A and B are shown apart, each in its own frame.
Chain A
Amino acid sequence: MTVCGQIVAGEVGQILIREKSGEKIELGDLLVVESSGGFLIIQVYDLLYGSQISKLAREQMAGLKLEGYGVGLEFFEPQLRNYVLAQGKVILQFAGKPQSAKVLPDFFGTVRHVEAKDLSFLSKPPNPIYLGNVRSGSKIIPVPVFLNGSEALVHHILIPSATGRGKSNLVKVMLWSILGQSKFGILVLDAHDEYFGRNGLGLKDHPKSRQGLLYYSINPLPGTSTLAINIKTIEPEYLDGIIPLTDAQHQAVRRYHSEYKEDWIENILRGTHVNGVKDITLTVLQRVIRTKLSISIENDEITSTNRVFSAAAGQCTVKEIVGALEDGKVVVVDTSKIGDEAELLIGSMIATDALTRYQKHKAEGNLADKLPISIIIEEAPRVLGQERLEAGDNIYSRIAREGRKFKVGLIAITQLTSVIPRDILTNMNTKIILGNEMATERHALIDSAAQDLSDDDRMIASLDKGEAIVTTIFTKFAVPIQIPLFDDYVKEQKSPEKQPDLQYTG
């Protein structure tokens, strides 16, 4: 056991540790203090200097050295006189089992860096989702950190981060560990076409991708599915909170749907007159459908400039996707070339049908047998932002508020946590916090975290790329982690699965 410091003062939540000379205590370090029958873990959240020499004397010495009067001037036994003080808080008490700390560590107790054996209680849960390894400061401890997917997914996950801090990398690592388990259905609305691995390593390279992965794109690779949505399958409710409409436009949509059922969009585009709908409203609706969804009529035929919406193809796409989610598959929908509103509408269609189907399962008493479904939504404020929700709820906010009861959850990714309403943030019971320089964003997270992170503001600000803090209602403390680089992780994990010998019978 290498001692790295000693407790010299403090109070609950603010333990002061003197650093041993030659040892380095870092911001975010996990330190262990032995106690009778177990140990306590202290997390360092601040560092400061300490000195036995008065401030005046130190300033005078610095002046002498700076002005050239003190060549060779040194402190006598400097390791005794000047030192670093680390401020920490007890995050866990272990006495046979992990529990929240209710005592102070022994006064003047020695501390050491955490070791893998100290964290053996962080065992692999059933239905694990791998996030990375435990991190103490910048040191990686060889203890893998998992979420229990069955619990965490339906209680929603928030991934807040500034740009370039490794959000996509984290999601890829998570999906890699999910793929092939057949324990959860995950819908990925992939706005940057970065998860499947069209041009490099990606989920397609997973040994079980054939069984567990579906990919939809308007530009499909051989063997993958075309993202084609039949306009007859679009119900007015899918637009709720996704495409901004006035009351008059809403009513007009309902009238068209009531009159023409599945052909309501076609009749709006063709300008068919319906009683009670003014010409100006019809014109605006036509423009909304043309501009937001890129659907129009050319040469008397329905066309879609984004190539997603079709009058002939794609009758089963949404049903197939929901079926695959129900079967525990990962479905990646490449929305990179189809526009914001079209992406959100497709997500809304799938999410609405998935939630409806699971509500039905619950009503019929079958929900317990069903696998959880989670929907990954990037730039979450587009659908969960305060401003957006003031115009009306949408399927994503419904899932955030009530999806848990039906085993449907969200994985919301955002750079702007502060614009998401507090009640929704509070419902996100797991937050995987990556680095963020913006104080307002950090405060929004700290205020809604599952653990008390009120002292961790500086620690969050200092998180480097790939470093994160996992705060969840399912652990006793917020766990600092290091997320592996996806490409490295895949190379370690990947072992080509032997394909069964296939005999061809023509």
Chain B
Amino acid sequence: MDICVQRKVDFIIIGGDLFDSNIPDMALANKVVQKVSNVRSSGINFYVVYGSHDFSPTQTSIVDLLESAGLFTKVTKGKMINGKLQLEFKTDEKTKAKLCGISGRKLGIEKEYYNILDREPLEKEQGFKIFVLHGAVSEYKPEYTAESESIPISSLPRNFNYFAGGHVHEKLIGKEYGQVVVYPGTLFGADYRDLEATAKGQERGFFIVNFSTGLDNVVFVPVSVCEYELVEYDANGKTSAKVQEDLLQVGNARHSEKLVLLKVSGQMSAGKTSEVDFQRIRKAFKENGAVEVLPNYYKLTSREYAAIRVATVGEEVHKIEERLFKENIGTISVTNPKLKGDAGVRLSQDLLKVLKQSKKENETKGSYETRITDAAIETLDVKEALAE
């Protein structure tokens, strides 16, 4: 954001998931609000859509608060007319750019919005037009995201000068089908895979777009959050004691101000995986200057002992939850269609999101219980049934 102020950009677009939750940690939210507020006072507008993380179907999101405070402008205003979704453009006063978009949702709802989108008025509108979307475009999805939801490019309205995307974790400019679709990627990383890619040299940052009547250029601005160090260790044929010794030795070297990704794999010849004290190893790294150490020993096994693990490396938490719900929902016999199939998975995810919320500071136990219970009842839509 400081770079945006320095470069005197006209406005900033956020394609969703500024936060990883609709109600983020308040200390973090406070920092963000201060920063956004400073940028706004420089005359830079923020145009946003929800991401799948910072939206809640039942509760107010931090994005709503920022909009109410006049810091953000959502560009997703629209209404249903005869079963079609009609979006309204928001015109940026300074540049006269026209923006509209669709927020991120889960399990097909976002796709459904595109299916019912009334494209014609959007396509006929004159001027420099930007469409803001959260979801990934199928044609440009990175290979490892094949199983995640996406929107085919044919779903997007035509005749827009620029499509500003959010969800994808890699920077990407797609121009193959006559539409310029741009994803800046993550600035830091949502999971180990992202961080490893960064450590291996993948650039992180954002795009600055120059335009007049048409698109002039799209320039990538790299942003380095911290320095990374990827330590890959092959434990094949070594004992647990030897692995421990080697890793401690690596840890005891200097790692000044670096985020260390410690990746240990291979089958040990003797000893159990639990005998490798990763806490101690982590401590050694940190004592020698590492900002943080993220060990990944999913592929570490032992001839003596093989634990059963859930295959989760590189998978985001919400993806794991979704997968487990999908895998197991069929095993429960229910008649209510809201509890079956995709609808059931969606409801389970929403309920889990509610139940995950922790007690706030200064919140009494009773208030906390009431808040969670009310939110759960609203999510399950059983208020009337309970009243009876």
Contacts and interface: CB of A to CB of B under 8 A. Distances in A.
Contacts of B36: none
B369 to A, nearest CB: 28
* Interface of B (DSSP majority class): mixed
B145 A316 contact: yes
Interface stretch (A58-66, A224-232, A395-403, A480-488): A224-232
Contacts of B109: 502
Interface residues of B, number: 35
B331 to A, nearest CB: 11
Contact of A224 (B112, B140, B154, B174): B154
B153 A320 contact: no
Contacts of B103: 505-506
Contact of A319 (B74, B83, B116, B143): B143
* Interface of A (DSSP majority class): loop
A223 B155 contact: yes
A503 B146 CA distance: 28
A316 B155 contact: no
A219 to B, nearest CB: 9
Contacts of B147: 319, 323
A270 to B, nearest CB: 20
Given A222-B155, A233-B143, A504-B79, A313 B115 contact: no
Interface string A198-213: 0000000000001000
Contacts of A451: none
Contact of B116 (A221, A233, A502): A502
Contact of A505 (B57, B83, B139): B57
Nearest to A230: B143
Contact of A504 (B74, B113, B115, B150): B113
A224 B138 contact: no
A263 to B, nearest CB: 14
Interface in A447-506: 499, 502-506
Interface in B33-89: 57, 74, 76-80, 83, 85
Interface in B347-387: none
A28 interface: no
B157 to A, nearest CB: 9
Contacts of A504: 78-80, 85, 113
A320 B146 contact: yes
A142 B19 CA distance: 62
Interface string B120-155: 000000000000000000111111011100101111
A221 B155 CA distance: 9
A409 interface: no
B168 to A, nearest CB: 12
A505 B77 CA distance: 8
B119 interface: yes
25 contacts: A220-B152, A222-B155, A223-B115, A223-B155, A225-B139, A233-B143, A310-B176, A312-B140, A312-B174, A312-B176, A313-B139, A313-B140, A314-B139, A315-B141, A315-B146, A316-B141, A319-B143, A319-B147, A323-B146, A323-B147, A502-B112, A503-B80, A504-B78, A504-B79, A505-B57
Interface of B: 57, 74, 76-80, 83, 85, 103, 109, 112-116, 119, 138-143, 145-147, 150, 152-155, 174-177
Q: What 7 A-B pairs come out closest when comparing CB atoms?
A: A506-B76, A319-B146, A316-B146, A220-B154, A315-B143, A225-B152, A313-B139
Given A221-B154, A224-B154, A317-B138, 18 more contacts: A223-B155, A226-B139, A226-B152, A226-B154, A312-B174, A313-B176, A315-B140, A315-B143, A315-B146, A316-B143, A316-B145, A502-B80, A502-B109, A502-B113, A503-B80, A504-B78, A505-B57, A506-B76
